[in-house]
Chains A and B, each alone.
Chain A
Amino acid sequence: ILNVEQSPQSLHVQEGDSTNFTCSFPSSNFYALHWYRWETAKSPEALFVMTLNGDEKKKGRISATLNTKEGYSYLYIKGSQPEDSATYLCAAILYGQNFVFGPGTRLSVLP
């Protein structure tokens, strides 16, 4: 079974701080990587779908990069706001396999 890791497990930042966290996955037979945001009492929502090495995606203050050769993706949040508080999940897909989710990074943004 493909192993996907995320770090840190949890993170507390002050409002206005920028932050980033990591998703690691096996680099062989890579197909795609998804990032999801999961707010409390809501369902996970897709943020980014990334497939190519060197991909950079951006949505407002949130951006992500992908390195398929070394098997990692970074998610960045610029100028964190309390509404960014959520668990951020990554899911990797290898050829011939289904999504495998990491355990998530729980972000708390303190006002």
Chain B
Amino acid sequence: DGGITQSPKYLFRKEGQNVTLSCEQNLNHDAMYWYRQDPGQGLRLIYYSQIVNDFQKGDIAEGYSVSREKKESFPLTVTSAQKNPTAFYLCASSIDSRSPLHFGNGTRLTVT
């Protein structure tokens, strides 16, 4: 079955460490996205990529980095520069930048 996979489901890190969240899709989608959810807020866009080897900052990119070396993969690195990294992170993909999003199950990151 085609889908989008995020791993791990839960992640714990010490403050000051970088951590990378995995996102893989086998839907052959060109566009991929990373969102962050905080309580009481809508999903906020961190980074997006419309094609391999290209990506753009979203609304809250500071303290994050991404790569898009393969169509299937769009990993997100939460760096030590991110001031409030504890959150729920959702990865999504779509055929193009206007089509409905297909979401992964999310990764809950806790930094202490």
| A21-80 interface with B by 8 A CB criterion | 31-32, 34, 36, 42-46, 49
Q: Encode B29-73 as 1/0 by CB contact (under 8 A) with A.
A: 000010100001111110010000000001100000000000000
A-side interface size class: 20 to 34
The one of B48, B90, B98 that contacts A43, using a Cβ cutoff of 8 Å: B90
Contact B105 A42 (CB under 8 A): yes
Chain A residues proximal to chain B, CB less than 8 Å = 1, 4, 9, 31-32, 34, 36, 42-46, 49, 89, 91, 93, 98-104
The minimal Cβ–Cβ distance linking B31 to chain A, given in whole angstroms, is 10
B-side interface size class: 20 to 34
Contact A31 B98 (CB under 8 A): yes
Which DSSP category, helix, strand, loop or mixed, fits chain B's interface? loop
The one of A4, A43, A49, A102 that contacts B103, using a Cβ cutoff of 8 Å: A43
Contact A43 B104 (CB under 8 A): yes
Q: Which B residues lie within 8 Å of A98 (CB)?
A: 33, 45, 48, 58, 97
Contact B42 A103 (CB under 8 A): yes
| Interchain CA distance A93-B103 in the complex, whole Å | 17
